Every structure is written in structure tokens, then in C-alpha cells.
């Protein structure tokens, strides 16, 4: 409390000998010259005040970084996502590299891939699913706006349109979307089966732009989305997925001939929802500075038999 009887000069001199209510160790020196002990006391006092305000060094850092934009809806930024692993396109790509070419057909750019288009008219049945991929351009550190993403996967029976017996004339569960300003593409589809020898998955290729999709050699990334086991267990209890229960029990992410090298790290999707409709999402980092390695069988995989429609020289991929 200020002494009401003190003179203005005396009050001024008293305040000169204090700093933030604390006596100066060296009244005749500047505040910055009061010594280490005084400096530490001041630092502790300020940190205690920040603590009372619910702040701290970490809190201040988070506040400073709070304006940074996330590329992915799942909270994974482009930088932290890393480059998506290159994987085999398998024996049923439908991109012209192994027989049929759906990417040459008018109507392939579409969001809902459950039904065939063009001269085909079939519709794939199964548990509803949406797939959202957030593509980032790691070379520039920005969302990959304008990239064309081609997605394909098997039916609930484990077959692939355009290839498998009985559905060679169909082209459902295949489609292309163009990434928006946030690098996102979204497809409406059905949850795929687990067929013999493979973990449940979804294939995709990334092209630099829509004009490039008619040439499979222009793909800048080829990879696969791995689906979580707990979700697969629930889906495969539904009608039409009976064979998937047995097949899933015979494989794991570690034993899978595609995801096995790292257990699907970086490719395991985030999934929300229920059997009335699942939302599958994954961050896809693409580095145009590296040479794509997709399309070939994975290292050590070797030729196998037992694909979704009986056999394949490429193995069940």
C-alpha cells in the first residue's frame, strides 16, 4: 500500500527500488543487471501466472500453430501423411495394362460406382460404403487439386467386374474422380469382400490430371487401402458376405502378400458408421519427385494361385 504521508520524490525512489512488487537486489542498477537469482525468480513468477491462465509453453505453442490448415478430414496433414506405398495393381486393374480398359469409356468419371454404365446395366449389392481419399502433393506441400483418382475393388462375392466369371460384361465398382481444391475425391460404393489369400482392400491409381487416365503408364501412384478388421468382422456377418468370414480367418495384415511388409502402416483406413453405411477415409501423399513403382508384383510375392475367381498368374491381389 502506498504511504499517504510520503512525498512524491520518496514514492518515486521507492518504486525505483522495486520491480513487479519485488525488491531489487541492486537498487542502483538496471533491472537487467540484478543477477541470476533475481532473473530466475522473475521467470518462475511469470510461468506461474501463465499456469493460472491455463497456458504454458506448450499452450502458447499450440495457440501459435492453431491457424495451420489440415489437408485431411481425418486430421492427418499432407506433410505428416508421408508418401503412400507403391503396390501392385494386381491382375484386374481394368486400366488397359492387363486386358480390358474401362478408362477409355465415356462415363468413367463418376462418384457413384455401384452400377455399371455404358452398355452394361448391372448393380453391385452389398453394405453401403463411401470412400474419401485426400490426395496431397508432397513435392509442393499442398493439396493435389486436379489429380485424377481411379478406384476399383471386388464385389461382396470376391469377383472383379470385366474379369471374373459371370460379370465379364459389367464395369461396376470402378470409377474416376477429380480432386477438388482440398485434394479430396469421394466415391459411393459397397464394402468389398475378403477373398482367399488377400486382406480386404480397395485399389486405386493416381494420375496427374484427367487427360492422363487413358494411359496407364502415366499413373504417378498405385496403391491399396486396407480395411480394419473390427469393421470387416461386423460387415461379413451380413447377408451375402458368408465366404468372407472363412477367408478373413485365414489371413492377417502381417501375412498378407501386399500389406505384410509393414502391416499396412500408412494404408489402413479410418472407418466410421455402421452396416447402414460406412465412411472410409485415407490420406494419400504423392511425391512426384519419386519414380512410381506400382503395377509389379510385390517383392517376394511370386506367382500364386487362388484369386477371387479361381486362379491368377499374378496371385490374389
Tell me the pLDDT tens digit for each residue of 95-105. Answer: 999 999 999 99
| pLDDT of 209 higher than 70 | yes
What's the pLDDT at 124? 98
Mean pLDDT across 204-213:
98
Grid cell 496427374 in the structure block, residue: 208
Mean pLDDT across 155-183:
98
Closest CA to 225 of 205, 192, 248, 203: 203
| pLDDT of 91 higher than 50 | yes
Tell me the pLDDT tens digit for each residue of 294-312. Answer: 655 433 333 232 344 333 3
Pairing of strands 277-286, 128-137: parallel
| pLDDT of 180 higher than 80 | yes
| pLDDT of 313 higher than 60 | no
Mean pLDDT, the chain, integer: 79
Residue 229 vs residues 200, 236, 253, 304: alpha-carbon distances, Å: 9, 10, 9, 24
Mean pLDDT across 112-132:
97
Mean pLDDT across 79-92:
84
What's the pLDDT at 298? 38
What's the pLDDT at 159? 98
Tell me the pLDDT tens digit for each residue of 262-272. Answer: 999 999 999 99
Domain extent listing, the chain:
8-65, 78-286
Residue 20 pLDDT class (50, 70, 90 cuts): low
Which of the following CATH numbers is that of domain 78-286: 3.50.50.60, 3.40.50.970, 2.60.130.10, 3.30.559.10? 2.60.130.10
Residue 26 pLDDT class (50, 70, 90 cuts): low
Mean pLDDT across 203-230:
98
Contact 193, 241 (CB under 8 A): yes
Distance CA 317, CA 308 (A): 9
Tell me the pLDDT tens digit for each residue of 276-298. Answer: 999 999 999 999 998 887 655 43
Mean pLDDT across 244-255:
97
Q: Could you tell me the pTM of the whole model?
A: 0.71
Task: Return the higher-pLDDT residue of 18 and 189.
Answer: 189
Q: Which residues, in sequence order, are bridge partners of residue 135?
A: 284
Is residue 307 left, alpha or beta, with left meaning phi > 0 and alpha meaning psi from -120 to 50?
Answer: beta
Task: Return the higher-pLDDT residue of 160 and 57.
Answer: 160
| pLDDT of 168 higher than 90 | yes
| pLDDT of 155 higher than 90 | yes
Amino acid at each position: 500500500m502506498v504511504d499517504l504521508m510520503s512525498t512524491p520524490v520518496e514514492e518515486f525512489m521507492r518504486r525505483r527500488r522495486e520491480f513487479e512488487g519485488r525488491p531489487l537486489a541492486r537498487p542502483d542498477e538496471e533491472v537487467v543487471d540484478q543477477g541470476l537469482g533475481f532473473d530466475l525468480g522473475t521467470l518462475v513468477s511469470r510461468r506461474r501466472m501463465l499456469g493460472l491462465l491455463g497456458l504454458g509453453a506448450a499452450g502458447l505453442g499450440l495457440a501459435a500453430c492453431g491457424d495451420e490448415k489440415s489437408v485431411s478430414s481425418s486430421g492427418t496433414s499432407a506433410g505428416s501423411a508421408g508418401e503412400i506405398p507403391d503396390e501392385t495393381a494386381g491382375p484386374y486393374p481394368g486400366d488397359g495394362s492387363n486386358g480390358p480398359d474401362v478408362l477409355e469409356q465415356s462415363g468413367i468419371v463418376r462418384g457413384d460406382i455401384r452400377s455399371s454404365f455404358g452398355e452394361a446395366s448391372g448393380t453391385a449389392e452389398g453394405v453401403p460404403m463411401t470412400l474419401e481419399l485426400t490426395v496431397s502433393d508432397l513435392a509442393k506441400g499442398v493439396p493435389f487439386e486436379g489429380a485424377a483418382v481411379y478406384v476399383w475393388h471386388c464385389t461382396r462375392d470376391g469377383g472383379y467386374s470385366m474379369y471374373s466369371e459371370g460379370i465379364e460384361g459389367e464395369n461396376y465398382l470402378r470409377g474416376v474422380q477429380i480432386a477438388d481444391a482440398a485434394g479430396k475425391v469421394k466415391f459411393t460404393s459397397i464394402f468389398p469382400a475378403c477373398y482367399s489369400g488377400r486382406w480386404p482392400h480397395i485399389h486405386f491409381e493416381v494420375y496427374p490430371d484427367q487427360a492422363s487416365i487413358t494411359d496407364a503408364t502415366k499413373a504417378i501412384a498405385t496403391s491399396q487401402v486396407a480395411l480394419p478388421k473390427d469393421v470387416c468382422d461386423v460387415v461379413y456377418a451380413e447377408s451375402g458376405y458368408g465366404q468372407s468370414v472363412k477367408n478373413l480367418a485365414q489371413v492377417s495384415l502381417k501375412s498378407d502378400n501386399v500389406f505384410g511388409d509393414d502391416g499396412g502402416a500408412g494404408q489402413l483406413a479410418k472407418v466410421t458408421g455402421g452396416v447402414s453405411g460406412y465412411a472410409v477415409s485415407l490420406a494419400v501423399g504423392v511425391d512426384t519427385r519419386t519414380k512410381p513403382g506400382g503395377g509389379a508384383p510385390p517383392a517376394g510375392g511370386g506367382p500364386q494361385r487362388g484369386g477371387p475367381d479361381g486362379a491368377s498368374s499374378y496371385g490374389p491381389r
